[in-house]
Chains A and B, each alone.
Chain A
């Protein structure tokens, strides 16, 4: 795991050709520049438009804002804690049982919620826990009286955990996978029990990964919109994102929207800063692994406990997914399958998702490389570019897509380029929004690989393409595939951007789904949700196959 701020060892400052470093840093700077242009351009557009009337921005700071900021932070903090803590233990259980039956399927399933539009997930959860849900009658019996459903804070939390627990589990697992097999062998040789091995082997790695994963989940929850409004039970549950949307969409007050967005970024930055205090710098074991397999001896008691933990998490995640699929099966699937609009949307979705994911992985790799390269170079404190490449770029997640869309519209409105811009914007914005996920999957492995192999490569004079093909690719292909899968799932389910640029030129599956839902065609929408889920699983399967390590 990468030391966040400290050079891991003094010896890492080794002789390497300056040219090689510059290439990495240049790639990172290019990636940052692309992000800066995307976000900065949008802000510029809105600021130019909004500067004429600042009254909305000034009037923005009132008691209402105070209330929604409190609620936004509170629900996001709770959602994050409830997602992260169980995820640590589920990931650990999965990591200790590499042969767990159905493990690969479970992991694929865990990336699925990300691909579901929020309203589909909300309906899936309500199909179980709502007032008319499958579990309503047993719950009524238990609670005495009529089951009131999960509207209110509880509903928001359940939905956020549904999205984020599986996400965090996969990322924690990814972090645990960077532990060299030798450590497991050593732990086993020293006769460490599960408690000792958790404390001494697993926890340091998990803790180092914690701030970034918690930060990612927090950002997803702080910007929650549809879930918060739909399941929140009333306007007392309102997030800043709702206020941004309202300011831009209903009142068209760019100054106010920009003010709220900046506030959202500042609040997130404060929380992220606090989170980094929870983390720790773990030294990366830079020696090459000798052992090939994981040596973990697990007692029956622990095995049962782990299995129970995995089963619980699986039920929680799979429940709403199964409910969604069941609803989808009731739709007129043969008619949908023959519908040219569905074919077109499916194709558009696949092309956009794959393009966005490729771009996203490229940006993530560039940023990881630049950060690592800069971390090696500097004396003590992280420089500006390094900090940006490390954590700063992740903040794009809290810039609402509607802000980016509206800002660019303002900039391009009088140019003919506007019409060609829609598909480009969709792919780019999706890629940038998915980048924090890709980076989360890729960076730990990248840093570990760099730490282990940089000196060796320098000694062997391996650089550039040869090094990438011979040294980096074999260890990075699995994390890259994970990052790719997440970026793809995210782009598949995305609507924020699509909706902004969608209309006639870029109609994707989620767009079509919502259009059907918006014109009484609930069954069609359920069928399309099933199709979207299957498509996501299929693409995930391909990505996994691609990322599989060759047997050693």
Chain B
């Protein structure tokens, strides 16, 4: 039913804002799970406002893709000082808009797997994509992407659609990074194990926790949520020999923000402990900067990918459409 179109339909271009306060103000565009009551937003806002004596305003849209679209539409007249929540698959396109400037802060303290060299965007968290499985249903989880592709077609996995979702695109890139030109053949085989392909992460994870399939595509950090919030180790990530594809979330200063002295302050704050301590148990991702608090022990129980796979932002931007079409052709057959 289109009327309930939903989650996906999520905000392509959100409309939000609150009247300006008299004090100095910093406007940050982000995605809505960041500003949700259980997300990092409320704590981050409180901490930063206390530090700067200013007013931090979030404007939330659906996700990274929506963020970029909104920014493109607003162009140079955007009200955003900072855009927080793009991922590395979007940075090439974001840079091409010419709307971002170097952050003007030292990013030396930032640590992400594989290192960070981009001079425009600053990472704030990261996680690897992973196949999460239900250990009560699946006794022999796949140990590699190859085992996933070639495994028993009766043991199903739920995937997301790369045309509409970020993890969906993540798996397309992961398969590409491992199989290269042989990706279509891999997809044709994997197709037999795919229960269904949902429009977004929520639907896929919902089907998985309802027990419809013993596997789902998600993040290495997903089991941490179940351990911390539900006190169960039932759901685990399968470690793959070939390595795991990495998602890094970044923020950048816009041309509007370049005129606001608070922008650089926020970027420095973002990579520091007051921000980073909040991330793990609200965004369920790994902090990319310095923390003061030790990570919840649950994070120590997560698998550590033997190798980080990542394709360059430029390569992704240039080939995304072809690779998604390739996926579509193989999966529609």
Binding site for B on A (CB under 8 A): 49, 64, 67, 116-119, 122-123, 126-127, 130-132, 146, 149, 151, 160, 163, 220, 223-227, 229-236, 238, 241-242, 245-246, 248-250, 252, 341, 397, 400-402, 405-406, 409-410, 412-414, 418-419, 421-422, 425, 433, 490, 493-496, 499-505, 510, 514-515, 517-522, 525
Q: Beyond the given A496-B2, A504-B18, A522-B209, could you list 13 further A-B residue pairs with CB under 8 A, ordered by the A residue number? A: A123-B210, A132-B212, A223-B2, A226-B8, A418-B17, A495-B5, A496-B5, A501-B11, A501-B15, A504-B58, A514-B6, A519-B39, A521-B38
Judge if B126 is at the interface, Cβ distance under 8 Å. Answer: no
Known pairs A118-B1, A123-B206; A518 contacts B197 (CB<8 A): no
List B contacts of A514 (CB < 8 A). Answer: 6-7, 10, 202
Partner of B6, one of A117, A151, A520: A117
Docked Cα-Cα span, A127 to B73, in Å, equals: 42
Does B36 contact A519, Cβ atoms closer than 8 Å? yes
What's the nearest-Cβ distance from chain A to residue B213, in Å? 7
Does B199 contact A225, Cβ atoms closer than 8 Å? yes
What's the nearest-Cβ distance from chain B to residue A248, in Å? 6
How does the 8 Å CB contact mask read for B189-204 relative to A, with 1 for contact and 0 for none? Answer: 0010011111111110
Does B2 contact A224, Cβ atoms closer than 8 Å? yes
Pick from A130, A238, A402 the residue with the most CB of B within 10 Å.
A402
Docked Cα-Cα span, A514 to B12, in Å, equals: 15
Does B212 contact A249, Cβ atoms closer than 8 Å? no
List A contacts of B194 (CB < 8 A). Answer: 233-234
Does B4 contact A117, Cβ atoms closer than 8 Å? yes
Known pairs A118-B4, A225-B5, A499-B9; A249 contacts B16 (CB<8 A): no
What's the nearest-Cβ distance from chain A to residue B60, in Å? 5
Pick from A132, A227, A230, A231 the residue with the most CB of B within 10 Å.
A230
Does A119 contact B73, Cβ atoms closer than 8 Å? no
Judge if B107 is at the interface, Cβ distance under 8 Å. Answer: no
Does B14 contact A501, Cβ atoms closer than 8 Å? yes
What's the nearest-Cβ distance from chain B to residue A469, in Å? 34
Does B195 contact A151, Cβ atoms closer than 8 Å? yes
Q: Which residue of B lies closest to A401 (CB)?
A: B5
What's the nearest-Cβ distance from chain B to residue A242, in Å? 7
B window 4-37: CB within 8 A of A: 4-18, 32-33, 35-37
Does B9 contact A496, Cβ atoms closer than 8 Å? yes
Number of A-B contacts (CB under 8 A): 249
Does A341 contact B37, Cβ atoms closer than 8 Å? yes
What's the nearest-Cβ distance from chain B to residue A89, in Å? 24
The segment from B64-72, B115-123, B240-248, B308-316 found at the interface with A is B64-72
B window 145-171: CB within 8 A of A: 154, 156, 161, 163-164
List B contacts of A118 (CB < 8 A). Answer: 1, 4-6
Docked Cα-Cα span, A118 to B7, in Å, equals: 10
What's the nearest-Cβ distance from chain A to residue B29, in Å? 11
Partner of A235, one of B14, B156, B331: B331
Judge if B328 is at the interface, Cβ distance under 8 Å. Answer: yes
Binding site for A on B (CB under 8 A): 1-18, 32-33, 35-39, 58-62, 65-66, 69, 72-74, 77, 154, 156, 161, 163-164, 191, 194-203, 205-207, 209-213, 222, 225-226, 229, 284, 325, 327-328, 331-333
Does A520 contact B225, Cβ atoms closer than 8 Å? yes
Does A518 contact B201, Cβ atoms closer than 8 Å? yes
List B contacts of A503 (CB < 8 A). Answer: 11, 14-16, 32, 59-61
Does A249 contact B210, Cβ atoms closer than 8 Å? no
Does B203 contact A230, Cβ atoms closer than 8 Å? yes
Q: Which residue of A lies closest to B156 (CB)?
A: A131
Docked Cα-Cα span, A307 to B13, in Å, equals: 50
Partner of B197, one of A122, A234, A400, A505: A234
What's the nearest-Cβ distance from chain A to residue B303, in Å? 18
Does B163 contact A252, Cβ atoms closer than 8 Å? no
List A contacts of B36 (CB < 8 A). Answer: 515, 519
What's the nearest-Cβ distance from chain B to residue A342, in Å? 11
Partner of B14, one of A116, A252, A495, A502: A502
Docked Cα-Cα span, A190 to B69, in Å, equals: 68
- Provide a sorted-by-A list of 8 A–B residue pairs whose CB atoms are within 8 angstroms: A223-B1, A223-B2, A234-B194, A234-B196, A245-B8, A246-B163, A494-B3, A495-B7
Known pairs A118-B1, A235-B332; A406 contacts B7 (CB<8 A): no
Does B197 contact A493, Cβ atoms closer than 8 Å? no
List B contacts of A493 (CB < 8 A). Answer: 3-4
Pick from B8, B37, B66, B328 the residue with the most CB of A within 10 Å.
B8
List A contacts of B163 (CB < 8 A). Answer: 235, 242, 246, 250
List B contacts of A234 (CB < 8 A). Answer: 191, 194, 196-197, 331-332
Does B202 contact A517, Cβ atoms closer than 8 Å? yes
Does A226 contact B196, Cβ atoms closer than 8 Å? no
List A contacts of B331 (CB < 8 A). Answer: 234-236
List B contacts of A126 (CB < 8 A). Answer: 207, 210, 212
Does A236 contact B3, Cβ atoms closer than 8 Å? no
Which 9 pairs between the two chains have the least Cβ-Cβ distance?
A223-B2, A132-B211, A496-B5, A503-B14, A495-B6, A118-B4, A518-B202, A236-B332, A503-B16
What's the nearest-Cβ distance from chain A to residue B90, in Å? 11
List B contacts of A422 (CB < 8 A). Answer: 15-16
Known pairs A149-B195, A409-B73; A249 contacts B202 (CB<8 A): no
Pick from A123, A131, A227, A241 the residue with the most CB of B within 10 Å.
A131
Docked Cα-Cα span, A151 to B72, in Å, equals: 38
